[in-house]
C-alpha cells in the first residue's frame, strides 16, 4: 500500500476528473432490470459513495440513482452496478441499450448476490452478458483494476461471505470480465460484494479494515480507463 499523503491523493483525485474544467460529480448508478430483484442490495450505493468521499477527492453525488436498463439515461453514468438473486433475462430493449452503453465506453459491474456457481442469477446473467457483450474470461489478478488506486496484490479482496462458506462454499480466486481493446466493459463477480458492502456506511467505524476499498478502484477505473 502506498504511503502517499492525503493531499497528494487529493490532487490526484482531482486530476482524475480534470482540473480547470467544470467537473460533473460522479453518480453511482444501480441498474434496474425487468426480471429479478435488482434492488436486493440497497445499501451498496451509499457505501460506495462514502468510500469515494472518504478516500479520494473525486466529486461525487451524495446519493445514488436507479437507472432503468431500458432507458438511454444510463448513458450518463460511466459505471453501472447490477446485482440480484433471481434469474436475469434482459428484454430486447434492455439488451439493445446495454449493448450501446458498453460500446460507448460504459462499464457494467455485475455481482452475484447469491454467490452460487449453480445459482439462477449466475447462470442466467452470464448467458445474458454473453448475448450482449461477448463471453466472460477470467481477469488476471495482475490487471490494473487491482492497482489503479489501492493495491490488491492478490486480486479481488475476499469477502466474509466466501470465508464463511456460504453460497457455493468457494473462495473465488479471480473475477471474470469482458474486455474490449484491453479495457474492461463488463466485470463479473461471484464474491457477493453485494452482501459484503450492503450495510450503513456509518457502521464502517466498527471495521478494522474497510472492506469497501475495492469499490474505489472500481470507480477510479471506470472514470479513467
Partner 1 sequence: MNTSPSMMSRDPVWRTVERVRRRLRGVLLLRSVLTGCACLSVITVLLWHLQVPGLAPDSAGGRVVALAGGLLAAALVARHAQRVFFDSARAALWIEEQQQPAGPSSFALVTWVEQQASRVPTLRDSVSATDTAGWLYDRANAQLARTDIAGALWRSTRRQLLGPALFASGALALVLVSRSHGIAVVVSAASRPASLVAPEVSRLLPLGVWDVHVTPPSYTGLPARTVGDVHTVRVLGGSVLRVTGDGPLPDSVSGRAVRDDSLAQRTRVAAPMQTMENGRWTLQWVAAEVPMEFRMTRGGRTRLLLLDAYADSVPAVTLDLPARDTVLRVAAGRFPLRASVRDDIGLQSARFELIVSSGEGERFTARTVMVGEQRLNGARSATLSAALDLTAMQLGPGDIVHLRAMARDAHPQSAREYGLSDTRSFRIARAAEYDSVAVEPAPPPEVDKSLLSQRMVLLLTEKLQQRRPRMVRGDVVTESSRLARDQARLRQSVGDVVFQRLSGESSAEHSHYAGDGHEHGVDLAGGKLSLSAKVTDGMVEEGNDSPVIAINQPLLEAYNAMWDAGRELEVGDPAAAIPHMKLALAALERARAASRLYLRGKPPTVIVDVAKIRMAGKDTGVVSTRRARDLVPSRDAARDARVVAAAQLVARDAEAARDSIAVLRLEVVADAPALAAALDALLQTMARGGDVTDGFVRARRVLGGVVRTEAGVWSRAVPP
d(CA 109, CA 34): 17
Distance set, CA 223 to CA 92, 124, 216 (Å): 28, 28, 11
Grid cell for residue 216: 474505489
Is 189 one of the binding residues for partner 1 (CB under 8 A)?
no
Smallest separation (angstroms) from partner 1 to the CB of 173: 23
Is 144 one of the binding residues for partner 1 (CB under 8 A)?
yes
Is 53 one of the binding residues for partner 1 (CB under 8 A)?
yes
Element (H, E) at 136: none
Cα-only R_g, the chain: 17
Of the candidate residues 75, 96, 100, 147, the single one contacting partner 1 (CB under 8 A) = 147
Is 66 one of the binding residues for partner 1 (CB under 8 A)?
yes
Burial class (CB in 10 A: 0-12, 13-18, 19+), 152: middle
For the segment 108-137, give every residue that binds partner 1 (CB under 8 A). Answer: 113-114, 119-120, 123-124, 131, 134
Smallest separation (angstroms) from partner 1 to the CB of 153: 14
Is 6 one of the binding residues for partner 1 (CB under 8 A)?
yes
Smallest separation (angstroms) from partner 1 to the CB of 55: 4
d(CA 156, CA 165): 17
Which residue lies nearer to partner 1 by CB, 7 or 22?
A: 7
Amino acid at each position: 500500500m502506498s504511503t502517499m499523503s492525503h493531499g497528494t491523493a487529493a490532487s490526484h483525485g482531482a486530476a482524475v476528473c480534470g482540473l480547470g474544467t467544470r467537473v460533473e460529480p460522479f453518480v453511482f448508478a444501480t441498474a434496474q432490470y425487468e426480471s429479478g430483484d435488482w434492488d436486493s442490495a440497497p445499501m451498496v450505493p451509499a457505501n460506495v459513495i462514502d468510500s469515494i468521499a472518504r478516500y479520494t477527492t473525486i466529486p461525487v453525488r451524495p446519493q445514488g440513482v436507479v437507472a432503468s436498463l431500458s432507458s438511454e439515461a444510463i448513458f450518463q453514468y460511466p459505471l453501472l452496478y447490477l446485482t440480484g438473486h433471481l434469474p436475469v433475462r434482459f428484454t430486447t430493449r434492455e439488451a439493445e441499450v446495454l449493448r450501446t452503453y458498453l460500446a460507448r465506453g460504459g462499464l457494467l459491474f455485475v455481482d452475484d448476490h447469491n454467490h452460487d456457481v449453480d445459482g439462477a442469477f449466475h447462470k442466467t446473467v452470464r448467458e445474458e452478458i454473453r448475448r450482449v457483450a461477448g463471453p466472460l474470461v477470467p481477469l488476471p489478478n495482475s490487471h490494473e483494476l487491482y492497482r489503479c488506486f489501492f493495491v490488491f496484490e492478490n486480486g479481488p479482496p475476499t469477502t466474509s461471505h466466501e470465508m464463511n462458506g456460504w453460497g457455493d462454499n468457494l473462495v473465488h480466486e479471480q473475477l471474470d470480465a469482458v474486455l474490449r481493446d484491453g479495457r474492461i466493459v463488463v466485470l463479473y463477480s461471484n464474491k457477493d460484494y453485494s452482501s459484503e458492502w450492503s450495510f450503513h456506511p456509518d457502521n464502517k467505524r466498527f471495521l478494522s479494515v474497510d472492506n469497501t476499498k475495492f469499490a474505489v478502484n472500481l470507480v477510479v477505473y471506470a472514470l479513467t480507463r
